[in-house]
């Protein structure tokens, strides 16, 4: 069967234009939807990336804070290490022996022996003093020798040498002046 087209040419052109317009509008809407979905997708990815960046910045700030804290602690450790080295050096050189000397003198000097001067140089200690006569039986000379024995017994000194022991008068009393050289162990 044959179909006949009774449409006028103008009406037919008009229908073609409308159909062309619909196709263009459909294409435009499709392009718009594609661009909108792409733009929306990009925005979602961008916001996700921005959130990750913010999280990383927070972590970096926390790690920087921790690094500063560790740096301060390591400086304190270094300072503490240096102080410990100084203390170890002092003890290895026995520079704190002065306190040992005073402790040994504190318990070992008889009551009738007076120390006038103490000089500490290297491993030697020079002690000058004098001794009085004891109320009981010991003479001033015996008190000086007793002091020497006590120093030898203290185990701080390996040698005790008497430089001199001489008689003199102090404060109206007869005394024995002495000088001992004590060699530290």
User: Which percentage of the chain shows pLDDT scores above 90?
Assistant: 30
Helix (H) or strand (E) holding 168: strand 157-170
d(CA 127, CA 155): 17
Q: Say what the pLDDT of residue 83 is.
A: 77
pTM to 2 decimal places: 0.47
Q: List pLDDT tens digits, range 34-68.
A: 999 999 999 999 999 999 999 999 999 999 999 99
**Domain 97-184 homologous superfamily, CATH:** General secretion pathway protein M, EpsM (3.30.1360.100)
Q: List pLDDT tens digits, range 125-158.
A: 898 988 877 777 677 788 788 888 888 888 778 8
Per the CB < 8 A criterion, the answer to whether 132 and 94 are in contact is no
Where in the chain are the domains? 1-93, 97-184
Structure tokens at 30: 């499709």
Q: If we measure between CA atoms, which residue out of 112, 104, 172 comes closest to residue 141?
A: 112
């Amino acid at each position: 069967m044959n179909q006949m087209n009774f449409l006028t040419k103008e009406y037919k052109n008009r229908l073609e234009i409308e159909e062309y317009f619909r196709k263009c509008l459909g294409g435009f809407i499709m392009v718009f939807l594609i661009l909108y979905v792409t733009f929306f997708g990009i925005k979602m990815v961008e916001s996700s990336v921005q959130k990750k960046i913010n999280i990383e910045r927070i972590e970096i700030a926390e790690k920087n804070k921790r690094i500063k804290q560790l740096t301060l602690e390591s400086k304190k450790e270094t300072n503490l290490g240096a102080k410990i080295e100084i203390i170890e050096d002092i003890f290895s050189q026995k520079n704190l022996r002065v306190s040992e000397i005073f402790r040994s003198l504190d318990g070992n000097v008889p009551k009738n022996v007076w120390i006038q001067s103490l000089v500490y140089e290297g491993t030697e200690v020079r002690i000058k003093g004098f001794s009085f006569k004891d109320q009981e039986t010991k003479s001033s000379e015996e008190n000086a020798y007793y002091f020497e024995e006590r120093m030898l017994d203290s185990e701080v000194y390996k040698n005790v040498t008497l430089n001199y022991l001489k008689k003199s008068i102090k404060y109206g009393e007869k005394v024995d002046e002495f000088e001992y050289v004590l060699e530290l162990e």
